[in-house]
A and B are shown apart, each in its own frame.
Chain A
Amino acid sequence: MEEKLIMEDEAIIEEILENGLKVYIHPKNKFVQSLASLQVNFGGRDYKYQIADQDYTLPEGTAHFLEHMLFENNGNTLSDFFIKNNADINAFTSRRITSYYFSTQNNFDALLASLLDNFIDYDFSEKTIKKERNIISQELAMSDDSDEEKAYKSLLRLMYKDRSIYQDIGGSKTSIKSINKAVLNQAVTHFYHPQNMSLLITGNVNAIKVLELLKNHPFNTKKWQTYQPIKRMIDISDKSGRHFKKIKPNLDTNIVEIGVKIPEIVFRDKTLEHNLLTSPFFSLVFGNSSLLYRILKSKNLYNYSFSAAPVIEDDYGFFNISIETKKPKLFIKTLMEYLTNLPELMLDEKVFKAYQRGEIGRSIKAFDDVKKTHYLVKKMLMDEVDIFSFVEKSKSIKLPDLQIYLDIFKKNNIYLVEYLQQP
């Protein structure tokens, strides 16, 4: 059992079980709650992959469908035991992972054992598959009339050829029709192996007891087949255009989405830790202390819907700026001028120093909240960030380290989507 500090007063125990499961335990014993989440490296993108040089496919939306099915595995309803113990349990599927998580004030060990019981053997009934298909169809239809989502998807389509980046994580009504028992079994065989999972525990727990439980649990003692690593392929090149405009008669306001792609050569540079560097960069260039904020305010272009955020996945990354506005032309003109002038911008040392000081406070506050801590560490694990060096590395970032991003703001790297009201 190895305990490592991530910052003062905060230690995480890291262990790899015999079955290959990576376990992280972060005791925070002054809090009432404990949280656990089991991550499976199986997400919406995994409908085409390779194992031992052999190509495999799954219907789009299989990971999300399986997430629903895991609540009805082996004829049991997973949530029953949790509800009886007054615990909350839920799950989500993202492009990269499926995460099953619970929080509780009592009986943590029994609940953790119950969660893992569900990931040893799999048996799904046809009746449940049919039921979940109906429910998922409803879920997929929920965003049918969201123009904001359509505009964002249009931006992704413009920037990337690869469907796995812009297709719906849940698949489509058509694709989920072909999800059956055989498909689900293929998915669990290939992806639901402990070596392809990680477990994070945060809160009021006894780490030694929990590790003992995990080691003796059938999930660990079961004789698993040798894990076959999954190989994923992605093409992060774009299509041909960089501008997409759509006039829609039923829009109430105009939507503008801008994407600035991190070029492949920069993105794949192993010396750059984008998850570390893009946050301070964004704060300086797009935050409330930035020149952009002042410009948007002075031209009455800023409103509550304005958002600017880096999107950093493990296989692609870009900067996203979006707004719903009555003045799309002026907004686009202003933004384009600002973005294309960024390579000449001198980053402000004073603002950067204040940001770093702010980050010290924000870290202390984040770790002062058991839920926030759990989500923060989980995000770091999902982003494959080294949680033990994260805080120290963040402190050591220097202003010139961010310069690399300024240079990517070039016309041929900027993508624009406009959803405009019918005049």
Chain B
Amino acid sequence: MKIIKRDIKNLNLYYLPNKKFKTVEIAFVFVNKMDPVKINERNFLVDILLESTKKYNNPEKFNLVCDNLYGLDKISNYHTIGDVGLTTFLFRTVNDKYLNQDDVFAKTLDLCLEVIYNPKIHRGYFSKKSVKELKVQTEELIMSIKQNKNSYSYYQFMNEYTKNNQAEFGFFPDIKNIDKINHLTLSSTYKQMVTDDELYVFIAGNFDFQVMDELIAEKLSFVIERPKLPLDFTSKFIPNQSVNEVIEKTSNGQTRIYIGYDLGFEHSLKNIRLMGLFDELFGGFEKAKLFASIRENLNLSYYVYSKYNEDSNMFYVGLETTKEKEAVAIKEVEKQLQACKMGEIDDELFNQAKNNIINRLERTMDSQTRLLLSNIISFFKYEDVFNLEKRIAEIQELTKADLIDLIQKINVDTIYIYTSEAKKWKKN
């Protein structure tokens, strides 16, 4: 897939032509320097804007117009990488070529612009009522997270794991700032988004460039150029000085264990690729180290996995076991990590992990939405397109020696145990 820059006025407009799919997808990405105290507002915005607009001023009217556009899909989110915040609105519609109508995309574009630039506000402000509604919903969401023990234990773990980094990672909901949100803060964040953020527009699918250029030039003529922001996508994880062990004993079910690691290496592209490979062979599939030992050999757990987040450069292991077996399970995770550090990674597992990653990359080509999103991330982070051949070559070039060298720098940072009673656990 190519990303083609179009020179239409001052727009950051890019086309991703693709004849494989029957849809056209358009993404509006607002880029800002992440403001840690505005995490709630940014997340509220992506919800409230997709609820109604000035013209379609209640959810019924808004959903009706979406259904009339052949079930228009709307995806919105606020995502942070390093010190960058990306507010994305993605709309997915059926290509006119597959409908008995030739203006569905044009109407979709009108609706996208209505959603983003003509929200239901009065004299520049969202209503107090709608903001209160969202606050109530978020408070109820927090209660639901607490009630669901998997979500709760993960949320608690992440709070511990990122306790020195709360401002950098922008988790939602940000409970400590929830009371500060009101119609004024939400409205000013919205204004900031549409006037100060850099806007990028990406359009993917099978369409005529000239026709699209004309349409965009006509509909987005009001967008003005903004100064380019200095963006830093690297993670600056601040580890604990010593292992942070937290045991919470309010569970009335099985024990959930999370182990978070400090990756003491540079957040560079090569290290990201190596760590992705390690994640796969350590806890990514059923022949991986953890699954083979903890589930298959020792039957300690139904599931065990590792997870590397390349945006935040954080890595953790999660598992669930009985309270009697929690110490054995934690010990075994550590044993397997040490074995890997000692080079106990056989060639079959190493190559299999590479193949798994390559396969997943190839499968990206089967979804236009995934392709578009991968391209957007690649574009911002690496100023490059998502190039499958290049990505595969990067994986194939990784060596076991480099991987073993890298993982020497991994150390346990946080151990969070959600259990039913206080268990004295000794670290080896």
Chain A interface residues toward B at CB < 8 A:
30-33, 79, 83-84, 86, 105, 131, 134-136, 138-139, 141-148, 250-253, 255, 287-290, 293-294, 297, 300, 302-305, 324-326, 350-351, 354-355, 357-362, 364-365, 368-371
Contact = CB atoms under 8 A, between A and B. Distances in A.
A110 to B, nearest CB: 16
Interface residues of B, number: 63
Name which of B295, B322, B366 has the most chain A CB atoms within 10 A of its CB: B366
Contacts of A138: 254, 299-302, 320-322
Contact of A293 (B60, B143, B359): B60
A214 B1 CA distance: 36
A134 B320 CA distance: 14
Interface in B337-365: 352, 355-356, 358-359, 362-363, 365
A303 B362 contact: no
A86 B355 contact: yes
Nearest to B251: A145
Interface of B: 20-23, 58-60, 63-64, 66-73, 92-94, 98-99, 132-133, 136-137, 139-141, 143-144, 146-149, 250-254, 285-287, 295-296, 299-302, 320-322, 352, 355-356, 358-359, 362-363, 365-368
Given A294-B58, A350-B64, A359-B71, A368 B21 contact: yes
A141 B322 contact: yes
A86 B353 CA distance: 9
Contacts of B254: 138, 141-142, 144-145
A253 B140 contact: yes
Nearest to B325: A138
B60 A289 contact: yes
A32 B143 contact: no
Given A350-B64, A361-B70, A365-B23, A135 B295 contact: yes
A304 B141 contact: yes
B68 A357 contact: yes
A371 B286 CA distance: 21
A145 B143 contact: no
B109 to A, nearest CB: 16
* Chain A to chain B: the 7 pairs with minimum beta-carbon distance, closest first: A145-B253, A361-B70, A358-B71, A358-B67, A361-B71, A253-B143, A354-B67
A354 B133 CA distance: 27
Nearest to A372: B367
A400 to B, nearest CB: 20
Given A136-B302, A138-B322, 8 more contacts: A131-B299, A138-B301, A250-B252, A288-B60, A289-B67, A361-B71, A364-B94, A368-B21
A300 B133 contact: yes
Contacts of B68: 354, 357-358
Contact of A355 (B67, B98, B251): B67
